[in-house]
Chain A
Amino acid sequence: MSILRLENVIKTYDKHTAVNNVSFDVPKGSIFGLLGPNGAGKTSLIRIITTITGADSGTVLLDGEKLNSNHPSQIGYMPEERGLYKKMKVGEQLLYLAQLKGLSKEKAKEQINHWFEKFNIENWWDKKIEELSKGMQQKIQFIATVVHQPKLLILDEPFSGLDPVNTNLIKSEIDEMHQNGTSIIFSTHRMEQVEEICEHIVLINQGQKVLEGRVTDVKNQFKDNLYKIKYTGELPDDLQIMDVADDSYKIIEQGKKSITVQVTEESASNKLLNHLINKGVHIQSFNEILPTLNEIFIRKVGPSEQ
């Protein structure tokens, strides 16, 4: 079951095609990474999903329903370019934004107070935004994004500009919402965060989908069948010869008490391991080396910009 489904979505501006026939599914309750280099079309896609702009063609289904004017109240969106009314009081501002998302005044107040308690900022209601530090403003921005308890949360580079303390705070909030069943789309070009947080990803480049799937599947898809063996003792002399003889593996790298091999057939890893053990080599560890998302990213779209 998917919370969001895009089918053949196209969006062009003037002569530039920002989104070119993109389709993908965001599974319900998942943390989904929308990845791509700067200018790939991520923001254009997000604006279509958040109903800010319409697609030229194609369909977008939210929870099985075609996007319509009721949906903005079910989506929470934190844009990369954060912003609040500087002269407004924190409480008034959140109340206003929550009501625009369709909450009643009472319900909005209740939710805001809930978040104030959670973040230990009960006395902030009457503070003006401009009196707050940037990190504090980010907290308010986050509350504004989730105050209406959206089904789908879209976070565009949520950690940019946050200090480690606030990053962890927001991370744990995202995690908690995920536990409670909220589906989260996480747009970024910072791969180490994706690896840490996301279960599914889609990679966009130049307006087109480049790859899609579960993070583990994607990694398996791009793996080079590399294994790293750590050992003590001496390697048998015939290792090189065996390598040449049956062509089932290749030594890529030979380090001090470790080798990295690439196997060409599935069974080769077992054969190699058997051979080593039989020859009295003491194996300390045997690991498959999976590519990092960053490596996959670079392989698919060229050097990332970080």
Chain B
Amino acid sequence: MNKLWLIVQREYLTRVKKRAFILTTLLIPLGLVLFYAAMFLIMSYEDEEKIKIAVVDEGGIMNKVLKDENDLYFSFPNESLANLKEKVEKEEYNGVLVVPKPNRIEVKDFTINYFSENQLSMTNKVRLEQKIGDKIRDYKIAELNLDKEQLDKLRSKVTIDPEPIKEGDKDSTSMTGLILGGVGGLLGTIIFFIVFINGTQVMMGVMEEKTNRIVEVMVSSVKPFELMLGKVLGIGGVTLTQMAIWAILFPLIFMGAQLFLGFDFGESQVAAANANAGVDQEQVESFAFQLMQEVGNINWFLILSAFAIYLLLGFFMYGSLYAAVGSAVGDDMAEAQKLSLPIALPISLSFYLIFPVMNAPNGTLAVWASIFPISSPFIMPARLAFDPPLWQVGLSLVVLIATTIFFVWFAGRIYRVGIFLYGKKATFSEMAKWIFYKG
């Protein structure tokens, strides 16, 4: 036990103290924030160029509707199209917009011509289309002698609100499914990344030890199994440390970026989107309140503790398998990739299962994928927010623990033979034989 602890310590400390670890741990969040900041700046970048548009309003319905805004300036000169085109060439205007008179009410598709040397930007084009479309609608309402207020009343918004069968059971709202799906998907994805990154790290660590040829010195002091376990635990600790630092660092850097760089992600974009979509602020606030309430309703304690258990089991199971592959390879990275495929494939498939499972969190696929031990470390945490029946969680845990113990033993059997093998390429059938070698 004492030796195992020494190994874990070494594996952990030598990695955590490395400059590369410190740099990646600090720079990745910073890099991501800078990336988002750059994206944000690019997205919100508005061209300073002022665009002057002469409108030929054949129906006389556009005046006052097209107001100057956002660097778009409209004028309604009473001149012929030919004249205006000339003025565009002389650069008095950037373009001429010809809005024909809507002849017949039945016509649904309008084409409006814009004469210019340069095209309108995408945003300006969409904005203009929207405004003119709205005005044509108003014009049609007036022509048909309809009451605008009555028309607005015809629009209804329908929401399906899920209610429990028994009184006193938890009452969910229409948003519950969406939020739980989001939380579940996020948890599953986090486990996927941790298991995957960690597994590769363990494999590389074992390969390094074997290439260095120190492994024979090591196993004259400790059991190969202890060495493997120490590696899985130590590197697991490194991965978890990095995740924990990121969990703290990301929000801090985001907040810092908001404070110092003077822009805020999210809010301004949401506000802009809302303004465009015509959603009023009150609605947004009640939505946010509901969201908070939903998030608060989730049994976080249960979910996070189960999440931690599945995470640990998942990376033990896959970490030791990766260690076994590393022991069989040596320093040949291509060979390592080939041999680790049977591990990487089920992990990736399980990850893709998260999406259909979130769509039907209590469906047959979801139930079996969360019990089957290869995929359960990713799928069950994703389902947890949906309150799966307790027997399923229990069964899934029992199966996973048994499988993890089996795989750690199995990997240990391969490892203890593999680490001594040099020069020869290991095949799967050969590795299978190693399992049955006597101690």
Contact = CB atoms under 8 A, between A and B. Distances in A.
A96 B217 contact: no
A84 B220 contact: no
A258 B18 CA distance: 71
A29 interface: no
A106 interface: no
A13 B214 contact: no
Interface in B233-254: none
B414 to A, nearest CB: 14
Most chain A beta-carbon neighbours within 10 Å: one of B6, B217, B439 = B217
A108 B234 CA distance: 23
B221 A100 contact: yes
Nearest to A75: B220
A88 interface: yes
Interface residues of B, number: 24
B433 A85 contact: no
A83 B214 contact: yes
B215 A100 contact: no
B318 to A, nearest CB: 25
Nearest to B218: A100
Most chain A beta-carbon neighbours within 10 Å: one of B18, B213, B215, B221 = B221
Contacts of A79: 213, 216-217, 220
A100 B14 contact: no
Interface string A56-88: 100000000000000011010111011111111
Residues of B contacting A: mostly: helix
B146 to A, nearest CB: 80
Contacts of B222: 72, 100
B341 interface: no
A200 interface: no
B6 A100 contact: yes
Contacts of A72: 220-222
A88 B10 CA distance: 10
Given A96-B10, A101-B221, A81 B437 contact: no
Nearest to A46: B220
B439 A85 contact: no
Nearest to B222: A100
A81 B421 CA distance: 12
A1 interface: no
Contact of B6 (A13, A52, A96): A96
A56 to B, nearest CB: 6
A84 B3 contact: no
Nearest to B226: A100
B73 to A, nearest CB: 66
A109 to B, nearest CB: 15
A96 B422 CA distance: 25
A97 interface: yes
A87 B220 contact: no
B290 interface: no
Nearest to B215: A83
Most chain A beta-carbon neighbours within 10 Å: one of B7, B213, B214 = B214
A14 interface: yes
A86 B208 CA distance: 10
Given A53-B439, A54-B438, A54-B439, A87 B14 contact: yes
A30 interface: no
A188 interface: no
Nearest to B430: A14
A131 B224 CA distance: 28
A50 interface: yes
A88 B212 CA distance: 12
Sorted from nearest, which 4 A-B pairs have the closest CB atoms? A83-B213, A83-B214, A100-B221, A79-B216
Given A52-B216, A52-B220, A79-B220, 8 more contacts: A54-B438, A83-B217, A84-B212, A87-B18, A100-B7, A100-B222, A141-B217, A144-B217
Interface of A: 13-14, 50-54, 56, 72-73, 75, 77-79, 81-88, 96-97, 99-101, 141, 144
15 contacts: A14-B437, A52-B216, A52-B220, A52-B224, A56-B438, A77-B217, A78-B217, A82-B213, A83-B213, A83-B215, A84-B212, A84-B214, A96-B6, A100-B218, A144-B217
